[in-house]
Amino acid sequence: MYYQLLVYTHIVSAVASIGPFFVLLAVIKNMRAAGAEAQRAYIHVFTVSVRVVKHAGHVLVASGILLLIDGPWPWMTSWVVMTVIIMFSSVFFLARAFSPTLRRFEEPGANKQVLMDKLHRSVWMYIFLLLLMLWFMTAKPNVW
């Protein structure tokens, strides 16, 4: 029962880590046509979403570690190693891709279209990284 609860927690946290980014694609689209006040509201939604993703990621990592400790896979299994490498890459990417860009929206004279383009690219890149990790965790390929 404990292991099944861990698997469930791991899956729910994976959904919570990936799902908001698909919503953020629509937020960015709406930001492009919004006025200054609405843009501030969208930026707040973006900031809160990134924070939710970060916390879901903490649960994802913790539950993943517990699953590896209690599960049948060794730490040096190729799909585990690849997932961890991508996860560390995505942590650095997440820290640099969103918060600094979102803060720049408040700077006087900021080119908001360029910033929205950067957010759009960053969202798609992060979705790709997350889906790649998801593939490694579900397909469990034997890379080496």
The label of the residue with tokens 């980014």 reads: 21
pLDDT value at residue 94: 75
- Amino acid sitting at position 79: W
pLDDT value at residue 43: 93
pLDDT value at residue 70: 93
pLDDT per residue as tens, the chain (144 positions): 999 999 999 999 999 999 999 999 999 999 999 888 999 999 999 999 989 998 999 999 999 999 999 999 999 999 999 999 999 888 888 778 888 898 898 888 889 999 999 999 999 999 999 999 999 999 999 988
Q: Which pairs from 11-17 meet CB under 8 Å and 24+ separation?
A: 13/56, 13/57, 13/59, 13/60, 13/63, 14/56, 14/60, 14/134, 14/137, 16/52, 16/53, 16/56, 16/59, 17/53, 17/56, 17/57, 17/60, 17/130
Do the beta carbons of residue 129 and residue 89 sit within 8 Å? yes
Largest CA distance in the chain: 56
